[in-house]
Amino acid sequence: MSGVNKNIVILISGSGSNMAAIVETARTQRWQARFGARVAAVISNKAAAQGLVWAKEQGIAAAALDHTAYDSREAFDAALMAEIDRHGPALVVLAGFMRILTPGFVQHYEGRLVNIHPSLLPAFPGLKTHQRAIEMGCRVAGASVHRVTSELDHGEILEQAVVPVLPGDTAETLSARVLTQEHLIYPRAVERLLSV
C-alpha cells in the first residue's frame, strides 16, 4: 500500500472497542510518521453508538447514518459509500459493524476492506460464535482478521488469535477473553497492511 495519506475509515455499530484499540495503536506506533496513515473518520449505522462519542473526543471525524432511514440495503450502502469516499480511504475497517454488506459495496472496496470475526475462521461464521464453540465442545476459540468478500466471513485470513475454552465458560466469559486478543491482533493486522 504505497503512497502518502493512507486514510483509514472505521465502521462501528456500538462501543467501538476495536476501533479505539486501532486509534491508540496508530498513535503509539506513530503510523502517521511511519506510513502517512491516520484514522480519518469513524462512521456508525447507529447514532447512539458510544464509539462515536469517543472518536469525537479524539478529534476524529465521526458520523452516523441510520440504516433504518433507507428503503433498501442497497440505498443504505450507497449513502455509506458516499460518506466513506469523502475521506479517500486506503483502508475501510469493519470493527463491530453489524450489517451485512451488499456485493456492490464489497466490490467497491475490494482489496481495501477488512473485518474482525470472533471465531477461528473458517469455523463458526455468522453470529453466536462463542455459544456455538462451547456447545460443540471446542477446546479452543479465538478471533480472525480477514479480508472481506461477498461471502460472509470468508476471505483471506490476515491474523488469528487462539484462546482456550475453559471449563464452566459461558458465551459472555469466553467473549470477554477473546475480545482482549481482538484488541491486539486487529491493530497488528492493519499495521501490516499499511507497511506493504
Which grid coordinates belong to 188? Answer: 497488528
Amino acid (1-letter code) at residue 161? A
User: How far is residue 46's CA from residue 108's CA, in Å, rounded to a whole number?
Assistant: 22
**C-beta separation of 125 from 153 below 8 A:** yes
DSSP per-residue codes, 155-175: S-EEEEEEEEPPTT--HHHHH
Rounded to whole angstroms, the Cα distance separating 178 from 165 reads 10
For the chain, how far is it from start to end, CA to CA, in angstroms?
Answer: 5
Q: Which of 19, 4, 17 is nearest to 114 (CA)?
A: 19
User: Would residue 146 show up in a list of annotated catalytic residues for this protein?
Assistant: no
Exactly one of 67, 117, 130, 183 is catalytic; which is it?
A: 117
Q: How far apart, in whole angstroms, are the C-alpha atoms of residue 37 and residue 29? A: 11
Please tell me the distance from the alpha carbon of residue 100 to that of residue 77, in angstroms, as a whole number: 10
Question: Which residues are catalytic, by number?
Answer: 117
